[in-house]
Chains A and B, each alone.
Chain A
Amino acid sequence: MYRYDDFDRTFVAERARQFRGQVARRLEGGLTEEQFKPLRLQNGLYLQLHAYMLRVAIPYGVLSARQLSQLAMIARTWDRSFGHFTTRQNIQFNWTKLEDAPAIIDALADVEMHAIQTSGNCIRNVTADPYAGVAADEIEDPRVWAEVLRQWSSIHPEFTFLPRKFKVAITGAAEDRAAILFHDIGLKIVKGPEGETGFRVYVGGGQGRTPYVGLEIATFLPRDRLLSYLEAIMRVYNLHGRRDNIYKARIKILVNALGLDEFRRQVEAEWATLDRPSIDLPAEEFTRIAAYFKPALLKAASAKDADLDARRHSDTAFDRWVRNNVVTHRQPGYKIVNISLKEPGKIPGDASADQMDAVADLARRFGHDEIRVTYQQNLVLPTVASRDLAAVYDGLVAAGLATANTELITDIIACPGLDYCNLANARAIPIAQEIARKFADPVVVQSIGPLRLNISGCINACGHHHAGNIGILGVDKKGTEHYQITLGGSPKDDAAIGDIVGPSFTAEHVPGAIETIVATYFELRRDSAETFLVAYRRLGKAPFRDALYGTGAKPAATAALENADV
Chain B
Amino acid sequence: MPNVVTANNLRSGAVVYLGSAGRWVDHLIEAAIASDAPALKALETEALRAVESTEVTAVYAMDVAVIAGRPEPTSVRERIRAAHAPTV
Contact = CB atoms under 8 A, between A and B. Distances in A.
Given A33-B57, A98-B13, A418-B80, A50 B75 contact: no
A285 interface: no
A49 B77 contact: yes
Interface residues of A, number: 27
Interface residues of B, number: 24
A194 B54 CA distance: 64
Interface in A15-33: 26-29, 33
A433 interface: yes
B51 A33 contact: yes
Contact of A47 (B52, B57, B77): B57
Contacts of A49: 15, 77, 80-81
A427 interface: yes
A33 B11 CA distance: 12
B68 interface: no
B69 interface: no
A418 B58 contact: no
Contacts of B51: 33
A98 B11 contact: yes
B38 interface: no
Contact of B13 (A33, A52, A479): A52
A28 B54 CA distance: 7
Nearest to A419: B86
Contacts of A503: none
B14 A427 contact: no
B1 interface: no
Contacts of B10: 26-27, 98
Contact of B8 (A27, A47, A427, A479): A47
Q: At the interface, is chain A mostly helix, strand, loop or mixed?
A: mixed
Contact of B14 (A50, A347, A418, A433): A50
A99 interface: yes
B84 interface: yes
Interface string A248-290: 0000000000000000000000000000000000000000000
Contacts of A418: 76-77, 80
B74 interface: yes
Interface in A386-436: 418-420, 426-427, 429-430, 433
Given A28-B54, A33-B57, A50 B13 contact: yes
Contacts, number: 66
Contacts of A479: 74-76
Contacts of A52: 12-13
Nearest to B53: A29
Contacts of B12: 51-52, 97-99
B85 interface: yes
A430 B88 CA distance: 6
Contact of B54 (A26, A47, A97, A429): A26
Contacts of A420: 86
Contacts of A426: 76
A481 interface: yes
A50 B15 contact: yes
Nearest to B85: A50
Contacts of B58: 33, 47
B81 A427 contact: no
B63 to A, nearest CB: 10
A480 to B, nearest CB: 8
A545 B78 CA distance: 34
Interface in A94-122: 96-99
Nearest to A33: B57
A27 B54 contact: yes
A433 B81 CA distance: 21
A27 B58 CA distance: 14
B87 A419 contact: yes
A306 B58 CA distance: 62
B85 to A, nearest CB: 7
Given A47-B57, A419-B88, A481 B76 contact: yes
Contacts of B87: 419, 427, 430
Nearest to B54: A29
A433 B75 contact: no
B75 A429 contact: no
Contacts of A433: 88
Contacts of B80: 49, 418-419
B1 to A, nearest CB: 13
Given A29-B52, A429-B88, A97 B76 contact: no
A433 B86 CA distance: 13
A368 B42 CA distance: 63
Chain A CB count within 10 A is highest, among B51, B84, B88, for B88
A106 B13 CA distance: 20
B75 to A, nearest CB: 6
B14 to A, nearest CB: 6
Given A49-B77, A99-B11, A419-B88, 6 more contacts: A33-B58, A50-B81, A51-B14, A97-B12, A98-B10, A427-B88
Q: Nearest 8 CB-CB pairs, A to B?
A: A419-B86, A51-B13, A52-B13, A29-B54, A97-B12, A429-B88, A99-B11, A33-B57
29 contacts: A26-B54, A27-B54, A29-B53, A29-B54, A47-B8, A47-B13, A47-B57, A47-B58, A50-B15, A50-B81, A50-B84, A51-B13, A52-B13, A97-B12, A97-B13, A98-B11, A98-B12, A347-B88, A418-B76, A418-B77, A418-B80, A419-B86, A419-B88, A420-B86, A427-B76, A429-B86, A430-B88, A479-B74, A480-B76
Interface of A: 26-29, 33, 47-52, 96-99, 347, 418-420, 426-427, 429-430, 433, 479-481
